[in-house]
Structure 1
Amino acid sequence: MLALDAMPIHVDALRVDMSMELKDQEMSGQSSGTDTSEQGDKGKKLTFSGRIPFIRVDSLTLLYTLASAKDEANTRKVYRIGHDIARALKIRTVKFTGRIQAREHDSLQAWNVSFELREHNSVAEQKEQRAKALTKPEQRENTRLKQALTDAEEATQ
């Protein structure tokens, strides 16, 4: 069973695939070295596929409504996910991404549907943000600039 913001999405024969990109770049140039530079862990992606019977057209409508929903900033809406695999992978919030597809089944009175949800604000992203916050340089008062502005103001009077 899949739920987004506690709204159940009824899809029969639901299958889930998980993927995660571990970004790196080769540093060897023209040599035969195997060194790489890590470029961070990207968010996990869950790909769902299954069937929705024609008699449950409201489930298909709900799926497309959720996929196209926007928030106050007119960006794709973030949902709290409820699913066993998401829980196991510690995925709490997701956004629709890529393609959402519904096509008629060849022999059943149903639609084959597939869609992708990408992790939003991943654990790796949160760790990176915390590390940046700890190493952020402290901004001090710029007394030279203040003094120059004061001197310029006095000179014009």
Structure 2
Amino acid sequence: MLALDGMPVSLDSMKVEMSMELKDQDMSGQSSGTETAEQGDKGKKLTFSGRVSFVNVGTLTQLYTLASAKNDANERKVYRIGNDIALALKIRNVKFTGRINASEHDTLQAWNVSFELREFNSVAEQKEQRAKAQNQPEQRDNTRLKQALINAEEATQ
């Protein structure tokens, strides 16, 4: 079962595939070393595939409407996802990404449908943002500068 912002998207024989990129770069140069530089955990991607019967053309229309929806800033809409694998992987918000495919099934009167949803504001991203916020120096009042300005003001009077 899949729900986006509480709206069910029902596909027959639905299958879900998860992928996640663990980005790194080889640091060994011309040597045989195995040293790598980590470049962060990228957002998870869920690929859904299934069938939509010709009778249920509304489901196909709904799917394309959801995929092409934009927010007020004219950016692709972020959806709250309801799905077992998304829950298990702690994926809360997603955006449509990549391609949405619908092709006629060879023997059934149905469409084979597939689409991808990419995690938005991932847990790894939130941790990174918190770490950056904690490492930023705290802004303090520059009392010496204030006193120098006051002294200069008094001197000119």
The question of a shared fold, defined as TM-score above 0.5 by the shorter chain, is answered with: yes
Match of 2:36 in 1: 36
The SS at the match of 2:137 is coil
Equivalent-residue separation in structure 2 for 1:36 and 1:105 (angstroms): 45
Q: Does 1:118 align with 2:111?
A: no
The SS at the match of 2:58 is helix
The SS at the match of 1:55 is helix
Equivalent-residue separation in structure 1 for 2:141 and 2:89 (angstroms): 45
Match of 2:80 in 1: 80
Name stretches of at least 5 consecutive residues in structure 1 with no aligned partner.
Answer: none
Equivalent-residue separation in structure 1 for 2:61 and 2:108 (angstroms): 19
Q: Which amino acid aligns with 2:20?
A: M
Match of 1:26 in 2: 26
Q: TM-score scaled to structure 2, two decimals?
A: 0.89
Equivalent-residue separation in structure 2 for 1:103 and 1:10 (angstroms): 17
Equivalent-residue separation in structure 2 for 1:104 and 1:139 (angstroms): 61
Match of 2:46 in 1: 46
Note the alpha carbon deviations across 1:50-101, whole angstroms, 9 max, x for none: 0000010010000000000001111110000000000011101100000001
Note the alpha carbon deviations across 1:5-52, whole angstroms, 9 max, x for none: 000001000001100000000000011100001000000000000000
Equivalent-residue separation in structure 1 for 2:92 and 2:77 (angstroms): 14
Note the alpha carbon deviations across 1:99-127, whole angstroms, 9 max, x for none: 00101111111000000000001100000
Q: Which amino acid aligns with 1:63?
A: L
Equivalent-residue separation in structure 2 for 1:116 and 1:98 (angstroms): 6
Q: TM-score scaled to structure 1, two decimals?
A: 0.89
Name the Cα RMSD after superposition: 1.7
Q: Which amino acid aligns with 2:110?
A: A
Match of 1:67 in 2: 67
Q: Does 1:10 align with 2:4?
A: no
The SS at the match of 1:29 is coil
Name stretches of at least 5 consecutive residues in structure 2 with no aligned partner.
Answer: none
